[in-house]
Amino acid sequence: MTHLDLEGSLRAARGAGRKLLVPYLTGGLGDWTRAVEAAAAAGADAVEIGIPFSDPAMDGPVIQESSQRALDAGATPVSILDEASRLDVGVPLVVMCYFNTIHHAGLERFAASLVRSGVSGAIVPDLPLEESGPWAAAADAAGVATVMLASPITPDERLPRICDRARGFVYSVGVLGVTGERASLAATATVLAQRLKGVTDRPVLIGVGVSNAEQAVEASRVADGVVMGASVVRRFMEGGPALVGEFVADVRAALDSVTS
């Protein structure tokens, strides 16, 4: 598919008064590409594709399970990007991968393989600002947007530097903890998003611990939108692409009721 401009697309959607919705799916698991299509058709503004890693230290049980199942089924970074290259869903694709996947492939080579597969951005949760230099340079040169993450305990002085380095959007981690569904949106989620909105014009999306339409709406009253992972992956494992499409459509409808 064509390589879309992640930040440009998100800014345009935000400019049109829309709250942003980025569902996450684990690459390489069953008919995951159909689920990406279903999510895009149901109103996703971008889709995040997880590249499974043997040691997903930032992920909770649902994404651990989906990753392990994908690995057991023989998924590799190469096979996933190959499948992604055949997608044409009209919204940007962003990969989520742990840094060893990039390091092992080689920074320039991995960035080039993303571009070839039509992937617009990368989220690397174990690559903090201070370690991001070489990858960010390779990604910038290739035209891949490196999304940066901020945490509820990130000190004020770091936030502008993180936002400056971010491309595409700033990932506002909603909770101290790993990915997974929670009964309610943590109070920390909107506090951090508010702090980020104060220092950047880039889209700010809350992810980790945003579990349903109601929480997405609550988060989006402050943030520009949300990333939803475990809630989407769980539905995919339970009911395949159709259930993903239904869920994304429900969240989309709820978000469309938010006026900013």
Question: What are the residues binding other proteins (CB under 8 A)?
Answer: 53-58, 60, 64, 68, 71, 76-78, 98-101, 103-105, 125-131, 149-155, 158, 162, 173, 175-178
d(CA 181, CA 51): 20
Min CB(87)–other proteins separation in Å: 21
In total, the chain counts a number of residues equal to: 260
Among 7, 48, 181, 218, the active-site one is: 48
Pairwise CA distance, residues 203 & 187, whole Å: 20
Q: Which two tokens stand for residue 246?
A: 């239904």
Taking the complex as a whole, how short is the minimal distance between the CB of residue 111 and other proteins, in angstroms? 15
Which residue, 76 or 85, is less far from other proteins as judged by CB? Answer: 76
Report the distance separating Cα 9 and Cα 2, nearest Å: 13
Asked if residues 95 and 48 have their Cβ atoms less than 8 Å apart, the reply is yes
- Cβ proximity to other proteins: between 170 and 254 the closer is 170
Instruction: For residue 48, indicate whether it is catalytic.
Output: yes
CA distance 150 to 141: 24
Q: How far is the CB of 198 from other proteins (least distance, A)?
A: 18
Minimum CB distance to other proteins smaller for 60 or for 225: 60
Catalogue the active-site residues.
Answer: 48, 59
